[in-house]
Amino acid sequence: MAPAERTDGQLSLGRLMRGTAGLAALAGLAWVARDVPAALGGRLAGARAERAARSPQFRDGTFHNQADTRTMVAAEPGRNLLRELIFGKQKRRPTAPVPLLRPSAPPAADTADELNIVWYGHASALIEIEGRRVLLDPVWSDRCSPSGLVGPRRLHEPPVRLDELPPLDAILISHDHYDHLDLPTVRALVAGQSAPFVVPLGVGAHLDRWGVPAERIIELDWSESHRVDGLEITATAAQHFSGRGLRRDGTLWSSWVVAGAQRKVFYTGDSGYFAGYAAIGAEHGPFDVTLMQIGAYDQAWPTIHMFPEEAVDAHLDLRGGLFIPVHWATFNLALHDWSEPVNRLWAEAKARDVRLAVPRPGERVVVDDPPAVDGWWQSVA
C-alpha cells in the first residue's frame, strides 16, 4: 500500500522513502555509480513469476502482509520529518569508535549441542548450530545503497573480512532492501563460498542477475521449508515490504526459523509487531535464541519496524529463550539516537525478566552461557 503523503511538507519525506527501508531510500537520489543498474536487481519473469502468482501472499501484482499496513502514516501535528532529518538534534552517530571484536574460536563442545551467535553488525549474523554455519543478511559494503558514493554509511567497519568467514552451509536473506541484500557482498560470497542462498519468493531474480548459479538459489514462500545438511530452514511470516528502486513489493519478505535436531533459532528480518509471532511460536517454538530487529523505528512508520518494547513482546510470543538484538548500531536509518534502541531494550528486558545478550560487533555469544550485559555502547554514545 502506498505511503500516506501530504503536500504541506509534513510527510514530504515519504516520497524519498519509497523502495527501501526507512531513510535508506535517500540513497536512491544518487544512482550514479557504475553498478547501480545491476544493484537494482532483476524482475520476476517466466516460471519465477508464475510461482509468485500462486502464493497466498500475492495478489494484484504484488505481495501483501497478512494485515493491511502502510509504510508511512500521518505525521504528528507540527512535525516535519524532512526538517527533523536535516536539522534534528538527535545523536545519530557515536562520539567514539564502536568497539569491535574478532570472534574467538568457538568453545570445544559436542557439536550435537552447539549453538552460538556471532553478530557482525546491523542484521548480519552467523548462526553456529550443531556443527553447521548459517549466515544471515550479509552486508559488508561501506554503504547500504545502490551507489557506493552516496547513501547511509557504516558507523563501524565489519569486524572480519568476508574471506575470513568459515565455510558456510546456508546464506539466508530476509528481504531485498539494501541494508539486507548487498550486490558486492553477494558476488564475493558466490566466489568464496559454495553454500546455497535461501531467500523469499522473487528475490532469486536479483541473484540471477548478479550471477548466482541457479542451483544455489532456493526460494521459499511462508511456511515452506528446505533441508540443508541436517538443518530445517523455514520461511515464516513478517510484516514489512520490499523493493529496490521505485518498484514496490514485487518480492516477498520473511522471517526465518533455523532448526537442528535439538536447537532452534528465530530471526525476525525486518517487521512490525503483529499477531503472527504468537502463531510462529505455537507452531515452531520454543526457541533457544531469537535475533530480533530493534532499530530504525518511528511513529511515522509504526507497522513495519518494531519499537524495542514491541520486540520484547514478540520474543515472548515466540517463546524465546535468549534475546539478541540486531538491526542497530551500524547504519543510521531513522531519526532516533543511534543508541536509543538498545537503551530502551535493556530497560524493558530487565522489567520483564527477559534473558538478554548485547554483543559487540564480532563477539561470539555462546547461547547456553551468554555474557552479562555491560552497557558497552554507553561509553561511545
Torsion sign (Cα): 361, 196, 141, 65: negative
HSE-up (13 A, CA, CB side) for residue 242: 29
User: And the C-alpha cell for 325?
Assistant: 538484538
Ordered strands of the 225-228 beta sheet? 225-228, 231-236, 255-259, 264-267, 287-293, 320-326
DSSP string for residues in 45-77 = -HHHHHHHHTSTTEETTEE--SS---S--PPPT
pLDDT for residue 29? 39
User: And the C-alpha cell for 357?
Assistant: 545478550
How far is the C-alpha of 78 from the C-alpha of 194, rounded, in Å? 53
For the chain, what's the residue count? 381
| Phi/psi at 247 (5° precision) | -80, 130
Q: What is the pTM of this model?
A: 0.90
Residue listed under C-alpha cell 573480512: 161
Tens of pLDDT, residue by residue over 11-21, are 333 333 333 34
Tens of pLDDT, residue by residue over 170-182, are 999 999 999 999 9
Helix (H, G, I), strand (E, B) or coil at 199: strand
Write down all domains in the chain, each with its CATH number in brackets: 115-379 (3.60.15.10)
| Phi/psi at 23 (5° precision) | -75, -5
Q: Which of 159, 37, 175 is nearest to 103 (CA)?
A: 159
pLDDT for residue 108? 66
| Phi/psi at 376 (5° precision) | -55, -35
User: And the C-alpha cell for 139?
Assistant: 552486508
Task: Say if residue 337's pLDDT is above 70.
Answer: yes
Residue 111 pLDDT grade (very low, low, confident, very high; cuts 50, 70, 90): confident
How far is the C-alpha of 82 from the C-alpha of 287, rounded, in Å? 40
